[in-house]
Amino acid sequence: MEPVKIGALLPPGNPTVGSELRRMAPGAEIVLARLMAAAAGGAAGVAAGMEARTRGYLDGLERPAREIGRARPAVVILAHTSCSYLDGVAAEPALVARLQAWSGAPAVTAAGAVRAALLALGVKRLALGTPYPESISAMGRAYWMAAGFDVVSHRRLGDVPDIYATTEAQARDLAGAVDTPAADAVLLSGTGMPTVGVLDELERALGKPVVSSNQAALWQALRVAGVTPAIAGFGRLLAGV
């Protein structure tokens, strides 16, 4: 892969975004900046206060976006799918416009990247797996329905103590549990849940595309930056097949 600098805005405590982006694209330079909320709303990664923290990240987006812009990335990712879920599909263009204005770089959101990926894969019927509490999971389902997809199956990981302590094995089990023959693809939503190491395995087992937030975010960021390599080992989306 030719060198490209990718900026990612992510919540405090999220250990997954940076490691997964670097794992999938070792030739890229990954620059991170943390989102911030005026009120903590509970510890990072826990269900209690997650919705309040997410709204706080949206309200406080300007400062970290301007900060990451100082690194002059080729593209900036808002690597927090739930921000789009709370903001809604109709507000997505305005959210991207604000990110671009503040950072001075082309911008994508994790949810917007997933939407582009699903459309590129020809997906209409979706099995949705989420690690969130019930309220945000419901918002995620509503988001994808408003985006024009038929959510034929939806399952939560459960009441996990900390999303940032989840594992690829849990993501694999969630995908297997939520899949149904009616689904064209499985979506594992959430940038904090590790997924990329099991995507190939899941696609072989399920016989259909499996898309995750970080995988799709990288795919779309590279496209926006004008870099379109075929990256093997992380699902057919990045492999280009």
pLDDT at position 44 is 73
Domain coverage including residue 162: 114-212
pLDDT at position 190 is 95
Residue 40 and residue 83 in one domain: yes
Rounded to the nearest 10 degrees, the angle between the axes of helix 92-103 and helix 62-69 is: 50
pLDDT at position 39 is 61
Q: What's the mean pLDDT in 211-229?
A: 96
- CATH number, domain of 172, equals 3.40.50.1860
- What's the angle, vertex CA 15, arms to CA 9 and CA 17, rounded to 5? 45
Bridge-partner residues for 31, per DSSP?
7
Contact indicator for 230, 240 with CB cutoff of 8 Å: yes
Distance CA 62, CA 67 (A): 9
Residue 34 and residue 146 in one domain: no
- CATH number, domain of 33, equals 3.40.50.12500
CA separation (Å) from 171 to 132, 177, 184, 201?
Answer: 12, 10, 18, 12
Distance CA 108, CA 94 (A): 12
* For residue 102, pLDDT beyond 80: yes
Residue 125 and residue 72 in one domain: no
Residue 85 and residue 130 in one domain: no
Categorize the per-residue pLDDT at 53 as very low, low, confident or very high, splitting at 50, 70 and 90. confident
Structural tokens at position 69: 């812009």
Q: What's the mean pLDDT in 92-111?
A: 98
Q: Using one digit for the tens of pLDDT, what is the confidence trace for 159-172? A: 788 889 999 999 99
pLDDT at position 234 is 98
* For residue 31, pLDDT beyond 80: yes
Q: What's the mean pLDDT in 82-87?
A: 96
Q: What is the mean pLDDT of the chain?
A: 94
Residue 90 and residue 166 in one domain: no
- pTM of the prediction? 0.95
Residue 71 lies inside a defined structural domain of this protein: yes
pLDDT at position 37 is 74
